[in-house]
């Protein structure tokens, strides 16, 4: 196995020395769109929107934009994808859909059924190979490439529903992983299929010393819980006493910054933190350069990107897209502008708003950071507060007070004829001064967000902070059936979700 690790590491570094002729981002994306339209032109969707005519037009991009409307999940499902669930073939992609990824995201209560096609599975593997090549850029010990890879996702059990299977995207990928990868895959098929999250974790915790893990993958909040449980159960000081060869943590789904300090406390030595960008709709990119904040989008893997400026011109205050929004291709974007991501994919999603809002940190390298969700920005009175702003505020609280904040959420509401924000902050540190936390949050947001600073002098009258044990957040996810490594706590509470959260907190107080 050590020889294998050296061979992989050496081959990656040799490949790095070669120069490959590359197309421009625009060329890659035009080629992807052409192939998508060509393959789907005879589907129900392709015939309805006359893809053949778009392909024959002198300006494919302009014709595509003017012909195919913007879709969100509800529109795509109501008009097209429900037919796939009913067993129809060639609806929006030329095949009968065998797999549907269940995804509730952080803003919807009911599960979404996202089609997963053979082409999408092939392209997810393609992105994975590209990420493996990029590992040559990081300082990873050669032996780590021969060690186990612990993937803390949702249950890999798939449920048969007549003509198709449904389940977590991690389960669909696990069913289709190459044979050679199974020797590295932890916790293995038997444990990963357990539908109960707590049962899976107990088995992982107990078996941890039997594995030689070099890489861990998963959402930060839940990975932290698992590593902490392993450390506690086996009576060690840090995770490296169990897995001395752990060298890489691959994370995604939420910003890692609020978790970084608390994560470091679980380690016995430095490791590489590498961010990825994946969803039920596909695999979009990964951090390709060390010590650079930015995820490199993969532009030739079956996904055509459009970017809609996340402004009042294009979106309502509730995050709903307006009719005929202006969109930009990869070569038309600029840095430090917030864009909503829109996809056309080899799984039959067309001009589909995924819900993420990003900024380009490098247009040249087509690298992005995720700054929020279209429906998880807080802007009651024009403060335009993004999740990225919130993460900065929480990071400042942790650093200045020396505490660990594992979860948080924010709500906005009318207050004395104006408006206010209420922060709910989860920490297991005792004697935290909520007034001092409030001051740091308010000061940080005023520094990083000019709109917030202006509104604090006018319409945004007050900021409230409630400190609570982190278990409150975990218990809420358990109650909602969202416990597990693929589920994230919503950073913004609005509408019915806010009422539900407040009722939950009230019931907690009564039980104390």
The per-residue pLDDT for range 398-453, each reduced to its tens digit, is 999 999 998 999 998 888 888 999 999 999 888 899 999 999 999 999 998 888 98
Q: Supply the pLDDT for residue 11.
A: 54
Any residues with CB less than 8 A from the CB of 205 and at least 6 apart, and which? 226, 229, 230, 233
pLDDT beyond 60 at 105: no
Predicted confidence band of residue 484 (pLDDT cuts 50, 70, 90): low
Question: What predicted TM-score, i.e. pTM, was given to this entire model?
Answer: 0.81
Q: Supply the pLDDT for residue 110.
A: 53
Q: Supply the pLDDT for residue 112.
A: 87
| Distance from C-alpha of 370 to C-alpha of 355, rounded to nearest angstrom | 11
Q: Supply the pLDDT for residue 286.
A: 95
The whole-number average pLDDT for the span 284-297 is 93
Predicted confidence band of residue 104 (pLDDT cuts 50, 70, 90): low
Residue 256's CB is within 10 A of a number of other CB atoms, namely 18
Q: For strand 492-493 and strand 407-415, is the pairing parallel, antiparallel, or unpaired?
A: parallel
Compute the residue count for the chain: 512
What's the Cα-to-Cα distance from 510 to each of 250, 427, 504, rounded to whole Å? Answer: 40, 21, 10
| Distance from C-alpha of 286 to C-alpha of 252, rounded to nearest angstrom | 9
| Distance from C-alpha of 205 to C-alpha of 211, rounded to nearest angstrom | 11
- Burial of residue 503 (number of CB atoms within 10 Å: 0-12, 13-18, 19+): exposed
Secondary structure (3-state) at 362: strand
Whether the upstream peptide bond of residue 187 has omega within 30° of 0, thus cis, is yes
Residue 356's CB is within 10 A of a number of other CB atoms, namely 21
Q: Name the token pair of 4.
A: 């294998």
The whole-number average pLDDT for the span 137-155 is 85
Strands (E), 363-459: 367-373, 407-415, 418-426
Any residues with CB less than 8 A from the CB of 193 and at least 6 apart, and which? 155, 156, 157
- Burial of residue 6 (number of CB atoms within 10 Å: 0-12, 13-18, 19+): middle
Of 142-151, 376-385, 413-422, 463-472, where does mean pLDDT reach its minimum?
A: 376-385
Q: Supply the pLDDT for residue 4.
A: 42
- Return mean pLDDT, the chain: 87
Q: Supply the pLDDT for residue 106.
A: 42
Note the pLDDT tens digit of each residue in 210-229.
Answer: 999 999 998 887 888 899 99
pLDDT beyond 90 at 247: yes
Predicted confidence band of residue 3 (pLDDT cuts 50, 70, 90): very low
Q: Supply the pLDDT for residue 486.
A: 54
| Distance from C-alpha of 282 to C-alpha of 54, rounded to nearest angstrom | 25
Q: Name the token pair of 114.
A: 């996202």
Q: Supply the pLDDT for residue 194.
A: 81
- Sign, CA dihedral 65-70-76-80, equals negative
The whole-number average pLDDT for the span 70-90 is 95
Residue 436 half-sphere exposure toward CB, CA atoms < 13 A:
11
Structure letter (DSSP) for residue 135: G
The whole-number average pLDDT for the span 290-312 is 94
CA 421 and chain centroid, separation: 25
**Residue in the structure block whose two tokens are 């009042």:** 312
What's the Cα-to-Cα distance from 145 to each of 6, 139, 220, rounded to whole Å? Answer: 8, 12, 22
Which among 324, 349, 326 is positioned nearest to 339, based on CA atoms? 326
Is residue 101 within 8 A of residue 114, CB to CB? The reply is: yes
Secondary structure (3-state) at 448: helix
Residue 221's CB is within 10 A of a number of other CB atoms, namely 23
- Burial of residue 350 (number of CB atoms within 10 Å: 0-12, 13-18, 19+): buried
Is residue 245 within 8 A of residue 212, CB to CB? The reply is: yes
| Distance from C-alpha of 189 to C-alpha of 195, rounded to nearest angstrom | 12
Beta bridge partners of 196: none
Which among 334, 349, 338 is positioned nearest to 303, based on CA atoms? 349
What's the Cα-to-Cα distance from 342 to each of 64, 146, 293, 480, rounded to whole Å? Answer: 13, 37, 22, 29
Of 6-20, 267-281, 418-432, where does mean pLDDT reach its minimum?
A: 6-20
- What percent of the chain has pLDDT above 90? 54
Secondary structure (3-state) at 300: coil
Residue 347 half-sphere exposure toward CB, CA atoms < 13 A:
26
3-state helix, strand, coil in the chain (%, to 5): 40, 25, 35
């Amino acid at each position: 196995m050590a020889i294998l690790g050296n061979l992989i590491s050496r081959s990656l570094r040799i490949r790095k020395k070669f120069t490959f002729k590359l197309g421009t981002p625009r060329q890659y994306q035009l080629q992807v769109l052409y192939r998508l339209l060509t393959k789907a032109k005879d589907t129900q969707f392709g015939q309805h929107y006359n893809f053949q005519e778009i392909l024959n037009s002198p300006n494919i991009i302009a014709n595509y934009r003017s012909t195919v409307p913007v879709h969100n999940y509800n529109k795509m499902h109501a008009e097209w994808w429900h037919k796939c669930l009913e067993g129809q073939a060639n609806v929006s992609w030329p095949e009968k859909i065998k797999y549907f990824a269940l995804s509730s995201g952080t803003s919807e209560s009911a599960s979404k059924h996202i089609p997963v096609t053979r082409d999408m599975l092939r392209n997810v593997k393609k992105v994975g190979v590209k990420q493996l090549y990029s590992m040559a850029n990081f300082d990873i010990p050669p032996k780590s490439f021969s060690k186990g890879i612990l993937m803390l996702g949702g249950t890999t059990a798939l449920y048969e529903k007549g003509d198709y299977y449904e389940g977590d995207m991690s389960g669909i990928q696990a069913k289709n992983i190459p044979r050679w990868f199974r020797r590295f895959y932890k916790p293995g098929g038997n444990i990963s299929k357990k539908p109960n999250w707590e049962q899976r974790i107990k088995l992982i915790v107990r078996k941890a010393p039997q594995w030689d893990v070099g890489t861990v993958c998963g959402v930060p909040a839940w990975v932290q819980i698992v590593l902490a449980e392993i450390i506690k159960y086996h009576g060690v000081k840090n995770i490296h006493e169990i897995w001395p060869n752990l060298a890489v943590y691959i994370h995604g789904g939420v910003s890692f910054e609020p978790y970084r300090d608390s994560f470091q406390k679980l380690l016995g030595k430095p490791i590489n933190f590498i961010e990825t960008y994946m969803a039920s709709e596909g695999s979009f990119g990964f951090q390709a350069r060390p010590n650079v904040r930015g995820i490199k989008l993969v532009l030739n893997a079956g996904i055509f990107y459009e970017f809609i400026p996340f402004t009042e011109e294009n979106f309502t205050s509730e995050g709903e897209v307006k009719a005929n929004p202006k969109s930009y291709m990869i070569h038309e974007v600029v840095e430090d502008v917030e864009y909503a991501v829109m996809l056309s994919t080899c799984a039959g999603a067309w001009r589909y708003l995924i819900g993420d809002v990003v900024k380009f940190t490098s247009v040249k390298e087509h690298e992005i950071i995720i700054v929020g969700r279209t429906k998880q920005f807080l802007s009651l009175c024009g403060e335009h507060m993004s999740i990225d702003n919130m993460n900065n505020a929480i990071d400042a609280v942790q650093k200045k007070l020396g505490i660990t904040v594992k979860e948080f959420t924010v709500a906005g509401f009318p207050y004395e004829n104006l408006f206010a924000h209420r922060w709910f902050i989860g920490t297991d540190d005792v004697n935290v001064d909520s007034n001092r936390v409030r001051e740091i949050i308010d000061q940080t947001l005023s520094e990083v967000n000019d709109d917030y600073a202006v509104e604090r002098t006018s319409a945004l009258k007050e900021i409230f902070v409630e400190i609570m044990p982190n278990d409150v957040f975990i218990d809420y996810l358990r109650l909602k059936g969202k416990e597990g490594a693929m589920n994230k706590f919503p950073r913004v509470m609005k509408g019915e979700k806010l009422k539900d959260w407040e009722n939950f907190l009230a019931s907690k107080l009564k039980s104390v």
